[in-house]
Amino acid sequence: MDYQQYLIRDPQICGGELVIKGTRVTVRTILASLAEGATIDEIIEDFPTLTEQTIRAVIAFAAASAEDDMPLPSVPSIS
């Protein structure tokens, strides 16, 4: 998924925090809701400007970000 088409960072919107395009809903807010156990449907109920696709974009962004931050496992040496 190309999550970048759904997300934007603009200093004029929410102080430059990463948000869903066309909204003032931050990625941090969506991730916090998911971490607390909210379902996609519950998040959409709370933020009706969002769609399942935009929430999945946030999840894809988080997965890609986590992958970038993960330390590489050491490779065993073969003698």
pLDDT for position 43: 98
Q: What's the token pair of residue 67?
A: 């992958």
- Give the mean pLDDT of 6-33: 96
Instruction: Please report the DSSP string for 13-70 in residue order.
Output: SGGG-EEETTS--BHHHHHHHHHTT--HHHHHHH-TT--HHHHHHHHHHHHHHHHHHS
State whether CATH 3.90.700.10 applies to domain 3-66: no
pLDDT: which is higher, 63 or 76: 63
What are the backbone dihedrals phi and psi of residue 18, each rounded to the nearest 5 degrees, phi first? Answer: -70, 125
Q: Is the distance from CB of 19 to CB of 13 less than 8 angstroms?
A: yes
The whole-angstrom separation of Cα 29 and Cα 24 is 10
**pLDDT at position 59:** 96
The partner residues of 9 in beta bridges, in order of sequence, read: 18
Give pTM, 2 decimals: 0.81
